[in-house]
């Protein structure tokens, strides 16, 4: 695997009992690159995210993060990797990823305290991070249950950024947000990418991914069926499923181009019985 890729996934297979959730999935993320993965519910998106961060064990294939092969890492090795701040993740449900008994400040600084930083240094960093994710400092003393959904999501992002990760895995990071918070979050991810953080942005929503990703991989029934520059995926989708996605988000492209795809869409719906 080429060491200059921050994240390299090759020929990954994941089984849950008889369900073959991922089939020979390969993708990579370079330094400062934002790669999107789109797919419908059940296509294997969460499985991919969870396999990359060590929460699901692949049955075959390899994963390397910053040149280090992590495929067979155990929990202890994963803790160490996160402590070193190389990879972090933000998953869809902030309530599930935040400890309900820790204040915003405690949640954000926990990884720093584990790494032996002083309380004062950690508190300064917490203030810097809440400002970075556009949260009011006054929220630092609140518990997750006392925040809105959008605020909680920003806390999980601040927490993930505390170790300055080289790559951030975002699994449906905006799907629980209302329109205003979604736009705000997408803008923030663009800023992060522009500042050099590598992103793997996983979502069912092509519109969200297309605004942030340089490249997009399309996951369909556990396989990557198409992978290319975001513009090419949107303007000239090759796989029938990608055409369906693009056709269902016509604001992404000109009305004329969307019209040209309607025929393919009709065909696809016929083949899948829609």
Structure tokens at 13: 């297979």
Burial class of residue 13, CB neighbours in 10 A (0-12, 13-18, 19+): middle
CB atoms within 10 A of CB 7: 25
- Give the nearer residue to ligand ADP in terms of CB position, either 40 or 178: 40
CB of 256 to ligand ADP, least distance (A): 31
- Is 29 within 8 Å of 87 (Cβ atoms)? no
Q: Which is nearer to ligand ADP, 43 or 70 (CB)?
A: 43
Shortest approach of ligand ADP to residue 168 CB, angstroms?
A: 18
Residue among 42 and 196 whose Cβ is closer to ligand ADP? 42
Of 20 and 62, nearer to ligand ADP (C-beta) is: 20
Q: What minimum distance in Å lies between the beta carbon of 42 and ligand ADP?
A: 4
CB of 49 to ligand ADP, least distance (A): 8
d(CA 205, CA 175) in angstroms, rounded, equals: 8
DSSP for 173-231 reads SSTTS-HHHHHHHHHHHHHHHHTT-EEEEEES-HHHHHTT-SEEEEEETTEEEEEEEHH
The binding site for ligand ADP (CB under 6 A) comprises: 16, 19, 21, 39, 41-47
């Amino acid at each position: 695997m080429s060491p200059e890729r921050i994240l390299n996934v090759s020929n990954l297979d994941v089984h849950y009992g008889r369900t073959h959730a991922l089939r020979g999935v390969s993708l990579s993320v370079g330094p400062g690159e934002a790669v999107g993965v789109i797919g419908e519910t059940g296509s294997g998106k969460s499985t991919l995210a969870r396999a990359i961060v060590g929460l699901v064990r692949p049955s075959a294939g390899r994963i390397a993060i910053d040149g280090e092969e992590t495929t067979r890492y155990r929990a202890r090795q994963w803790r160490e990797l996160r402590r070193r701040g190389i990879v972090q993740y933000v998953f869809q449900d902030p309530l599930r990823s935040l400890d309900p008994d820790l204040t915003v400040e405690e949640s954000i600084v926990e990884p720093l305290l584990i790494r032996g930083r002083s309380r004062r240094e950690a508190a300064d960093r917490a203030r810097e991070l809440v400002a970075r994710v556009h949260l009011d400092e006054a929220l630092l003393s609140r518990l997750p249950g006392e925040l809105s959904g959008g605020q909680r999501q920003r806390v999980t992002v601040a927490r993930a950024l505390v170790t300055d990760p080289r790559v951030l895995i975002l699994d449906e990071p905006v799907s629980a947000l209302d329109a205003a918070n979604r736009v705000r979050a997408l803008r923030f991810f663009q800023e992060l990418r522009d500042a050099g953080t590598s992103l793997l942005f996983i979502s069912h929503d092509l519109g969200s991914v297309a605004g942030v990703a340089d490249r997009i991989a399309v996951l369909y029934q556990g396989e990557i069926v198409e992978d290319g520059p975001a513009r090419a995926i949107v303007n000239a989708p090759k796989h029938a499923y990608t055409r369906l996605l693009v056709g269902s988000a016509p604001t992404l492209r000109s009305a004329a181009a969307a019209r040209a795809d309607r025929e393919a869409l009709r065909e696809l719906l016929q083949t899948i019985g829609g």
